[in-house]
Amino acid sequence: MTAIAADQTITFPVMPFRHVAAVTLGNALEFYDFTTYGFFAIYIGRTFFPSSTPGTSLLLSLATFGAGFLTRPVGAMVIGPLGDRIGRKPAMLFSFALMGLAMIGMALTPSYARIGVTAPILVVLFRLLQGFALGGEVGPTTAYMVEAAPPTRRGFYASLQYASQDAAGLTAGLVGTLLASLLSAAQLQDWGWRVVLLLGASVVP
C-alpha cells in the first residue's frame, strides 16, 4: 500500500448545487402532492364521490387517499432496482414524471356530475399512480444524495430528504390556508383545490 504524505489533501468532487436542488425539490414535490390530497379531501370527495348520506363523500375520498399507500411498496420494489440497473437519474426522472402526470391528471379530471362513474375510477387510478411514484422515488433519490455527496457531508445531504418532506407538508398547508382565506367555499370547491395540485406539478419541469 502507498502511504499518503501528511501534507497531501484528498479532494472529492462537489455535487453541483443545481443537482442538490433538483433532487430535494423532486422529493418535496412527491410529498407535497401526497399531503395536499389529505388537506383537500372534503372538496375532492364532493367532486368525485357525491352522496346524499352525510360523511360518505369524505369517507370515500379518504379511502382513495389511503389507496395510494397500497402501491408505495410496489413502486419501491420496481423503481428501486431499476435505479440499480440503469442509474439513479433515470429512475428519479421516471418517478418524478409519473407523479407529475398523476397530479395533472387528478387536477384536470372532470367531476362526477360531468362524466359519471368514470370520474372516481380515474381519481383512484391516479392516486394509485401517485403512491407508486412516491414509493419508487425515495430510494433512488436518497441513494443518489448519499453516493454523490462528499464523504464528510453524507449525513447532511441525506438529511435534506427528510427536511424536504416536512417542508413540503408545511408548504401544502400554507398554500391551502392562503387559498382558503382568498377564495370562497364555492370557489375552493369548484377549482381552488385543483390549483393547489397544478402548482405542485409546475415544479416538475
Given this model, what pLDDT does residue 1 score?
47
The yes-or-no verdict on residue 4 having pLDDT over 60 is no
Cα 166 to Cα 32, 45, 90, 100, 205, distances in angstroms: 9, 25, 25, 19, 22
pLDDT higher than threshold 70 for residue 186: yes
Whether the model pTM is above 0.95: no
pLDDT digits (tens, 9 = 90+) for 47-96: 999 988 878 999 999 999 889 899 999 999 998 888 888 888 888 889 88
List, in sequence order, the alpha helices (H) in the chain.
17-39, 41-48, 56-86, 88-108, 112-115, 118-148, 154-182, 185-187, 193-201
pLDDT (mean) for 140-152: 82
- Buried-exposed string 9-47: b where 16+ CB fall within 10 A, e elsewhere: eeeeeebeeeebebbbbbbbbbbbbbbbbebbbbbbbbb
CB-based burial, 118-134: b 16+ in 10 Å, e otherwise: ebbebbbebbbbbbbbb
Structural domains of the chain in order of their starting residue, each with its CATH number: 17-201 (1.20.1250.20)
Computed over every residue of the chain, the mean pLDDT equals 85
Cα–Cα dist 65/60, whole Å: 9
